[in-house]
Amino acid sequence: MRITETNDQSGVSRPPQPDYPLFLTMHGKNALVVGGGPVAERRVSGLLESGARVTVVSPWLTEGLKDLADRQQIIWSPRDFQPSDLADVWLVHTCTGDSDVDETVVTTAEALKIWSVRAGAADHSPAWTAATEHSEDGVQFAVNAGRDPRRAIALRNFMTELAAEGALPLRRSRPGPGRVFLVGGGPGDPDLLTVRARRLLSLADVVVTDRLAPIRALDRLDDDVQIIDVGKAPGKHSLPQQEINDLLVEHAVAGQIVVRLKGGDPFVLGRGGEEALHCLQSGVDVEIVPGVSSAMSVPAAAGIPVTHRGASDSFMVLSSHSGAADVVRRAGSTPTDTTLIMLMGVRDLKDTTTGLITAGRDPLTPAAIVAAGWTTQQATIRAPLSEIAEKAEVTGIASPAVVVVGPVAALRDDIGDLGKPSIRAGHGAIN
């Protein structure tokens, strides 16, 4: 067949628009690329990704194509095009840049009823490629913009960005392989979720969450997405860790996409390693998606850098779940300018501060507690190490909170809250 121009009612000659968009399965089929330049390299890349057997006909090749030929991933015929090259070929791309050669390839292919794509001359090509993008979850975007490739690419890029942000309805409607994603949700503000975290939430069939995760980020999920709260609170465990592990595997084996949404980062005192190992040992695919750790981000929201030139060049992150004695044992021998960051440390704070002072920390060492960081309930108190526990009791500040001990805590007095505008306006502030 031959593409010809048609006249509309106005009498203006226009190229015909495609009216039969189609995806081709090229796996195991022969494809021919005529030309050896950068455009040919892009065409070859796409064909190889589709599983096609590719032959390139050109007197010369780009370095990338030459490398593919050396590794025998393509067949290279180092000469000009010949009609015999079309034997047993399903699809042809011609991109020599020589209009006469490209026209010859197209004309010869048409005579043999073989579809051909002519690069750089869409108005004279029997077929043409759309601007495409493959997503990891099996969705492919293909945009055709009336033979305007730049416009198609711009639209494709826009859709890709929306998909990456979880703003497109890409969740599966048919069963598929199950998988677990261990996703760090950051310190609490949904705006601090990574782009990848947002995307995976939009694809999830099941979300297993805890109380420190950014729960408001779940408001936009479909009504039939199952949300399971396994959150732990001080002195209260809704589900033992082993049961959480089993829950992840159970839903993934049932063919569901499972997002384990945690506060902070899954691998920073989040038991993400335990969950990952259990999934792998159970034969379930699992992927880690890091998040913004509360150990650094919550102090930052209150104007406390965990390191600062001239004050501290190191920090230690500690979990207070094991008790004050264990915290003191681990932190007592650290240099006095090392910033101590204690998660969930309010309950045993009096015993912890007393132990640190006994171990050699100056009672006047600056200390701070930042509670509910990056939320509208954020609260911060500042006092010397010897007084911080008493001030915490008087003000009633409570978990979830991060305790900071070290010279950097004093910077809070000069910098102040650096979190959301609602926090800077004074909501939840304890001075």
Model confidence pLDDT, tens digit, residues 226-238? 999 997 655 555 6
Q: Give the model's pLDDT for residue 415.
A: 92
Q: Is pLDDT of 123 > 90?
A: no
Question: What digits encode the pLDDT tens for the residues 338-351?
Answer: 999 999 889 899 99
Active site residues: 210, 232
What's the longest Cα–Cα distance across the chain? Answer: 94
Question: What digits encode the pLDDT tens for the residues 361-375?
Answer: 999 999 999 999 988
Before 400, cis peptide (omega within 30)?
A: yes
Q: Give the model's pLDDT for residue 336.
A: 87
Query: What's this model's pTM, rounded to 2 decimal places?
Result: 0.70
Is residue 239 very low, low, confident or very high in pLDDT (cuts 50, 70, 90)? confident
Tell which wins on pLDDT, 154 or 145: 154
Is residue 2 very low, low, confident or very high in pLDDT (cuts 50, 70, 90)? very low
Question: What digits encode the pLDDT tens for the residues 38-68?
Answer: 999 999 999 999 999 999 999 999 999 999 9
Q: Nearest CA to 294 among 325, 263, 321? A: 263
Question: What digits encode the pLDDT tens for the residues 178-199?
Answer: 999 999 999 988 889 998 999 9
**Percent of the chain, pLDDT > 70?**
88
Question: What digits encode the pLDDT tens for the residues 60-114?
Answer: 999 999 999 999 999 999 999 999 999 999 999 999 999 999 999 999 999 999 9
Domains (range + CATH), the chain: 6-129 (3.40.50.720), 179-292 (3.40.1010.10), 295-424 (3.30.950.10)
Q: Is pLDDT of 176 > 60?
A: yes
Q: What is the mean pLDDT of residues 151-167?
A: 76
